[in-house]
Amino acid sequence: MKKNVLVIGGGGREHAIVYSLSRSPEVGKIYCAPGNAGIAQLAECHPEIKATDLDGVVAFVRSHGDIYLTVVAPDDPLAAGMVDRLEAEGFRAFGPRANAARLEASKSFAKDLMKKYGIPTAAYEVFTDYDAAAAYLETCSYPTVLKADGLALGKGVLICADRAEAMAGLKEIMLDKAFGSAGNTLVVEDFLTGFECSALAFCDGKTIVPMTTSQDHKRALDGDRGLNTGGMGTFSPSYKVGPAMEKRIYDEVLRPTLDGLNAEGIEFKGVLYAGLMINGDDIKVLEYNARFGDPETQVILPRLKTDLFDIFEACIDGTLDKVDIEWTGSCAVCVIAASGGYPEAYEKGKEIEIGQLDDNVVVFHAGTAMKDGKLVTSGGRVLGVTALAPTLAAARDLAYANIKKVRFDKMHYRTDILKEL
């Protein structure tokens, strides 16, 4: 019998997860909370239930006797223990429990784990006291990197060129609490150079299976200028990471991370994401996430041949070693269409037009909603155009040819994703 699934979240990542699950012959009805206008074409959306509403989600699963599995995709509900809550009620859930999600939710926890288990990362110091941090910033070398300890929507990282910038950043994080209680603890780490790569892997607590590689473009504007965003474009696979480097990422980062967590008595089931900085032969972990990346998922899952539902099942049951995870030979590129002004203030409610898309192109919705029967913008990152083709250059050209068919007032997108190819 087919099984019904609830997906928590409402962005492009969740649209890509719902899209993959909808292709599984084992999956019946899909529910999504809160979802968005694109997801609503494949799933029954519940905009009244926010992704962070633990009580609401548990009550929803309890009242719908027909939900077999809940997939918790975003960081906040994972860190808050949504999987723990569902399991405590006897429900099946995909994602790490709160103790394992700390890998993302606390940067000092992640850094200490890396230090203890010899996982390569930038040298760092942790401070809970403003004066001690200020004294350290007098003597450290520049540029330096300040990180608020907790979840801060990807914004709690400040790269400071000199001491004056660092002192201003320190005040912002620890005194003004610009990122709320995330700023009670501060990590100061060495500035690294190189290229960034996302290494995602499925984990069942014992086995860790790397996904195909991908790369994100985090700055808002062409030429990596402008502010850091949640991600403006991705491609997969990363042409900069060959098989030898992939093996090193497994041996030196992914495997030891899972082993280290196990040694600490923490079982990690779900998606482990290591954000890496690679410079020549040097690999260093910038951060961990305890979930699928957004918009990495929009280029990774369309390349997955294996049934995603089967992989989720194996992660929960501890049988990942029995699953053969296969990828298609095609390449994928995703370009994000954002609201003008994002990641700072932007307007919502702009009507969106999407023309006739070419084959091998999917639009994953992120910040969209239906209003009076019309598709409108409702967030900073509005949608992502993912294109698949035999080469990265062809996928890039197809993505750009199709993003031109998307229109809304003040739409902004980067024009330089993979320009170098």
Residues that bind ligand GLY (CB under 6 A): 154, 216, 231, 289, 293-294, 296
- Tell me the backbone φ, ψ of residue 285, rounded to 5 degrees: -85, 125
* b (16+ CB within 10 A) / e for 73-109: bbbbbbbbbbbbbbeeeebbbbbbbbbbbbbbbbbbb
Question: Token pair of 114, please?
Answer: 């890396």
Cβ 216 to ligand GLY shortest distance, Å: 4
Q: How far from chain centre, in Å, is Cα 98? A: 17
Radius of gyration of the chain (CA): 21
CA gap 77, 180 in Å, rounded: 17
- Judged by beta carbon distances under 5 to 8 A according to partner kind, the member of ligand GLY, ligand AMP, none in contact with residue 9 is none
Q: Judge if the upstream peptide bond of residue 143 is cis by omega within 30 degrees of 0.
A: yes
Side chain identity at residue 413, one-letter code: Y
371-410: which residues touch ligand AMP (CB under 6 A)?
A: none
- Output 154 or 318, the one with its CB closest to ligand AMP: 154
- Judged by beta carbon distances under 5 to 8 A according to partner kind, the member of ligand AMP, ligand GLY, none in contact with residue 289 is ligand GLY
Question: Token pair of 103, please?
Answer: 């890998």
- List the beta strands (DSSP E) in 257-367: 269-279, 282-289, 331-339, 353-354, 361-365
- Judged by beta carbon distances under 5 to 8 A according to partner kind, the member of ligand AMP, ligand GLY, none in contact with residue 269 is none
| DSSP character at residue 357 | P
177-216: which residues touch ligand AMP (CB under 6 A)?
A: 189, 191-192, 196
112-151: which residues touch ligand AMP (CB under 6 A)?
A: 122, 145, 147
Cβ 152 to ligand AMP shortest distance, Å: 8
286 binds ligand AMP (CB under 6 A): yes
| DSSP character at residue 174 | I
Side chain identity at residue 272, one-letter code: L
Please select the residue that binds ligand AMP; options are 163, 206, 218, 348, rule is CB under 6 A: 218
- Output 289 or 339, the one with its CB closest to ligand GLY: 289
Cβ 145 to ligand GLY shortest distance, Å: 16
| DSSP character at residue 124 | E
- Judged by beta carbon distances under 5 to 8 A according to partner kind, the member of ligand AMP, ligand GLY, none in contact with residue 333 is none
287 binds ligand AMP (CB under 6 A): yes
Cβ 341 to ligand GLY shortest distance, Å: 20
CA gap 261, 192 in Å, rounded: 25
- Judged by beta carbon distances under 5 to 8 A according to partner kind, the member of ligand AMP, ligand GLY, none in contact with residue 261 is none
- Which residues in this chain contact ligand AMP in the complex, by CB under 6 A? 122, 145, 147, 154, 157, 159, 189, 191-192, 196, 218, 228, 275, 286-287
